[in-house]
Structure 1
């Protein structure tokens, strides 16, 4: 891949065995500021051989880290947590500069990632096994969980900090070593996190960052020393990652795309629903796998609800995320072109463009990658704005006559990531959460991302693999179980030690 970066722009690195490592090849890509369009850095793209060297470093670090006591591993996690709390603002600024999301959204991303760090600080409890004395005469049985080895994390551009933090705190606390391949569009957050781990006292080689494109991804998927892969991205790539990784003997959790519905029933508080549709549809410029992109209005409320949403959408200020705007740019020019292309297609297929973000005004310098909040009405399920994941600030309104029709629409969709129901009827809500075929459900909550001690993941084409992210399922993904059956002759106890027992 060629680069158009100015000659004096900084060149980024990889991070291997506790230190920055320059790329050794001649392939680079540009990192841009999406609010201005300016190139801010050159990123080395690792070859398969370079990825192999990084994996080898992680493999060498694994035995010592695996055998480090849970107490000491947890102490490192706690130090990392305290450092991140103190310096979260720095990380949020990096995210805004490379992804474009507004400062408050970037700060929220860091906070949600920190929740998983805090969850992983409880690993001594989470890894407790079980034991049965005298399962048979003189025979005891115990279950234990042990780490896998080297694990790979392939993360997307839309959450440069939070999504990697869904995985690596749990993996590291459980005793694994990590190779993180961040999106080449937003690499700086991963490198910043690597330096924070070093400051927290994590041994060299336990957390590594390799930058790259498909060549690096394929190298991680096929390297025999990588035991597991965690991936978040679009559904076609998630399927490829899952099939390739499992074909090479790896555990894989591959979280894919989504088409998240928000159903609004006639008894709902329409002002609340309109507020939450704005938040869920246009937060982070719609570049969220949990964004609401399909609003399903049930009965005769559609006209009123569309008017309320349109009024709020027109009041939003789009621009540079560092200027206190409500919504920032899309991540690249290609993303901008993709989103505007879908709006054009929707209009051509018969949707009504109520609010047109293609013709908005933007508070920014230069030529950033902006599309303002866009609201489409009278969308039908055969239009591309409904069938495809747009990944931009486009909210489509579909009109149905009944609750049953809304549920049928959701269940017929090939995605099953998240959905929300807005109602004041508890009985209907209880029925909805039972009947809808989706992995994460919100009742009057538009973006039902679970807390870290629950697990994140969808159904159908939104997840490939059997294990969700973080929570108990995350702990199980990064460990494997053993059952130990023991019989001993009568033990004798010798020696005297009056010191206080410790678990170090």
Structure 2
């Protein structure tokens, strides 16, 4: 059986712990590989390797670091099909979606190619008599990223691109559910010219994550996962003096106003709710029609659109989405469907018990639709993270704004309307970090930044964009004076003023 190694010091390193995690093929339900789970001593060795390599990389000028990023972009494009197939085989998302996963990460690497400009500081000549002031951005040293299963290419690149381009060494702890793509990315980084030790991939479980949070050499930790764990990571790493950004869960809403183009809105909602089997923190699992007439019309169109969805294996070119990542996650999703029934919501389309001929043991869940869901129910309050769409009706725009604003999560939200004034009011008032106006999945482009509010994001700086560069660097400000002719200035015992 295939064994997935760590990647340390520019090469594959077999695990020595004797502990392994199973990597499944979600299409068949069968184990396809084993991934080594690191001990603390193995993590310590990877961190020591990174710490030894980082000073020379930080001393490499930004333009040369950017050249590595440019070459990495070229290699990613050249290996796109290979990476997409590998990603799809372990995650279960269809090939086209796997390519999208890689492309959105690649866009952040492209942004990182501009690091010579992004690291420029500020300069003031003549801030005082003969005094100039300038600032510079310097790398932190060794930093780490802990990434989830649902985007095994995109999210690692969101983190490692700005971190490495800024002159840091990066320790990546990817999800043990689909770990092969992160290792392949590290191999391509070395091929692009990155010095050994600057990007190390260490596989592990909870013990490995806790060791990262406690390790004194690691100066910053970026995390994406569930909100409870994100909050714990934020607290523990922060208590250890680290800079932390921890992105959590979501329950994104799509608000449909009476004037919306319903055909376009339904097409957008179906893709956003069921794409990647709903395993996205920016999925759209809640739709809120405003007014009874809108709700009835929207429901009819949603039922018809769901009837046309094709669930298939991840290599099926005609499939809209594939299996979920594991048997445990499938069971969790189906338990939430039952919970919704028990809470009194109307189950309009039931995706439980879905099977695919020839793949009866695969981790498939059919598209599910609920109507008349109440905001007080747990199935509405929690993140289900599966192909389950809930209709929560509202009587007015004001009520529709309050639903996502009062929710514990604040990642993304979308509104569908032709009314610019209503859209502007919505964007201004809704208490959510990322807003889409007729855009169902409002993930910002790479030169902006990604981040939610409330329990969707812990920390002051967002992922990628300028916030990513700021997160992985610190500002040093220099105030300099060059006295003329060696003259000695009078002593001063008060705070200096300019």
Normalised by the size of structure 2, how large is the TM-score?
A: 0.96
- 1:496 aligned residue: none
* Counterpart-to-counterpart distance in 2, 1:12 and 1:445: 38
* Counterpart-to-counterpart distance in 2, 1:428 and 1:458: 22
Deviation at 1:348, TM superposition (A): 1.7
Deviation at 1:314, TM superposition (A): 1.4
* Counterpart-to-counterpart distance in 2, 1:331 and 1:459: 27
Find the residue that maps to 1:135 and give its secondary structure. Answer: strand
After superposition, what is the alpha-carbon deviation per residue over 1:420-457, rounded to whole angstroms, capped at 9, x for unaligned? 00011000000000000000000000100000000100
Deviation at 1:384, TM superposition (A): 2.1
Deviation at 1:50, TM superposition (A): 1.1
- 2:225 aligned residue: 233
Deviation at 1:358, TM superposition (A): 1.1
- 1:425 aligned residue: 419
Please state if 1:163 is matched with 2:171: no
| 2:297 alignment partner, one of 304, 323, 346 | 304
Deviation at 1:359, TM superposition (A): 3.8
- 1:332 aligned residue: 326
- 2:313 aligned residue: 320
Task: Quote the RMSD (CA, aligned, Å).
Answer: 1.1
* Counterpart-to-counterpart distance in 2, 1:486 and 1:231: 39
Please state if 1:118 is matched with 2:116: no
Find the residue that maps to 2:72 and give its secondary structure. Answer: helix
After superposition, what is the alpha-carbon deviation per residue over 1:98-128, rounded to whole angstroms, capped at 9, x for unaligned? 0000111001111111100000000000011
- 2:383 aligned residue: 389
* Counterpart-to-counterpart distance in 1, 2:174 and 2:306: 32
Runs of 4+ with >2 A deviation: 359-366, 488-491
Please state if 1:485 is matched with 2:479: yes
- 1:463 aligned residue: 457
* Counterpart-to-counterpart distance in 1, 2:340 and 2:222: 34
Q: Contact between 1:319 and 1:364, CA under 8 Å: does it hold in 2?
A: no
Deviation at 1:365, TM superposition (A): 2.7
After superposition, what is the alpha-carbon deviation per residue over 1:241-287, rounded to whole angstroms, capped at 9, x for unaligned? 10010011100000000110100011111111111110110010000
- 1:176 aligned residue: 168
Q: Contact between 2:63 and 2:115, CA under 8 Å: does it hold in 1?
A: no
Alignment length, in residue pairs?
Answer: 483
Deviation at 1:362, TM superposition (A): 2.7
* Counterpart-to-counterpart distance in 2, 1:238 and 1:303: 38
- 2:496 aligned residue: none
Runs of 5+ in structure 1 lacking a partner? 1-8, 492-504
Deviation at 1:363, TM superposition (A): 5.7
Please state if 1:140 is matched with 2:132: yes
Runs of 5+ in structure 2 lacking a partner? 486-498
**Which structure 2 residues correspond to residues 36-435 of structure 1 after superposition, within 5 A?**
36-300=28-292, 301-324=294-317, 325-362=319-356, 365-435=359-429
Q: Contact between 1:153 and 1:181, CA under 8 Å: does it hold in 2?
A: yes
After superposition, what is the alpha-carbon deviation per residue over 1:357-379, rounded to whole angstroms, capped at 9, x for unaligned? 11434365351100011111111
Deviation at 1:71, TM superposition (A): 1.4
* Counterpart-to-counterpart distance in 2, 1:104 and 1:323: 10
- 2:495 aligned residue: none
Q: Contact between 2:137 and 2:474, CA under 8 Å: does it hold in 1?
A: yes
Q: Contact between 1:318 and 1:361, CA under 8 Å: does it hold in 2?
A: no
Q: Contact between 1:423 and 1:444, CA under 8 Å: does it hold in 2?
A: yes
After superposition, what is the alpha-carbon deviation per residue over 1:318-353, rounded to whole angstroms, capped at 9, x for unaligned? 121101211100000000000011111111211111
Find the residue that maps to 2:285 and give its secondary structure. Answer: strand
Normalised by the size of structure 1, how large is the TM-score?
A: 0.95
Q: Contact between 1:44 and 1:211, CA under 8 Å: does it hold in 2?
A: yes
Q: Contact between 1:418 and 1:458, CA under 8 Å: does it hold in 2?
A: yes
